[in-house]
């Protein structure tokens, strides 16, 4: 009986997606921590408050 070998699935895409999700989660949490430590309400602080509710925006603002 002949066996057909199938190639192993490509894990590169999975690793990239996992990295993006981890960096996004870190940015979102870091955004919350920077908001807690803030002292004045500026435009960026208002965007951080909105970014907590809308996680994609919060993950980007966490790095600013």
Tell me if 8 is assigned to some domain.
no
Tell me if 14 is assigned to some domain.
no
Query: Which pLDDT score, from 0 to 100, does residue 3 have?
Result: 75
Tell me if 9 is assigned to some domain.
no
Residue 58 and residue 44 in contact, taking contact as beta carbons nearer than 8 Å = no
Query: Which pLDDT score, from 0 to 100, does residue 7 have?
Result: 64
Give the list of residues 6+ apart from residue 59 with CB closer than 8 angstroms, or none: 23, 24, 25, 26, 27, 28, 31, 51
Tell me if 12 is assigned to some domain.
no
Tell me if 50 is assigned to some domain.
yes
Span 23-52, average pLDDT? 82
Distance CA 10, CA 18 (A): 14
Tell me the per-residue pLDDT of 34-47, one tens digit each, with 9 for 90 and over: 888 877 888 888 87
Position 63 confidence tier, pLDDT thresholds 50, 70, 90: low
Domain carrying residue 40: 19-61
Per the structure, the count of domains in the chain is 1
Residue 23 and residue 59 in contact, taking contact as beta carbons nearer than 8 Å = yes
Lookup result for tokens 């997606």: 17
């Amino acid at each position: 009986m002949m066996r057909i070998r199938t190639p192993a699935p490509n894990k590169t895409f999975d690793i990239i997606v996992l990295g993006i999700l981890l960096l996004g989660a870190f940015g979102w949490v870091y955004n919350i921590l920077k908001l807690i430590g803030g002292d004045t309400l500026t435009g960026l602080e208002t965007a951080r408050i909105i970014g907590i509710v809308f996680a994609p925006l919060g993950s980007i603002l966490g790095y600013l």
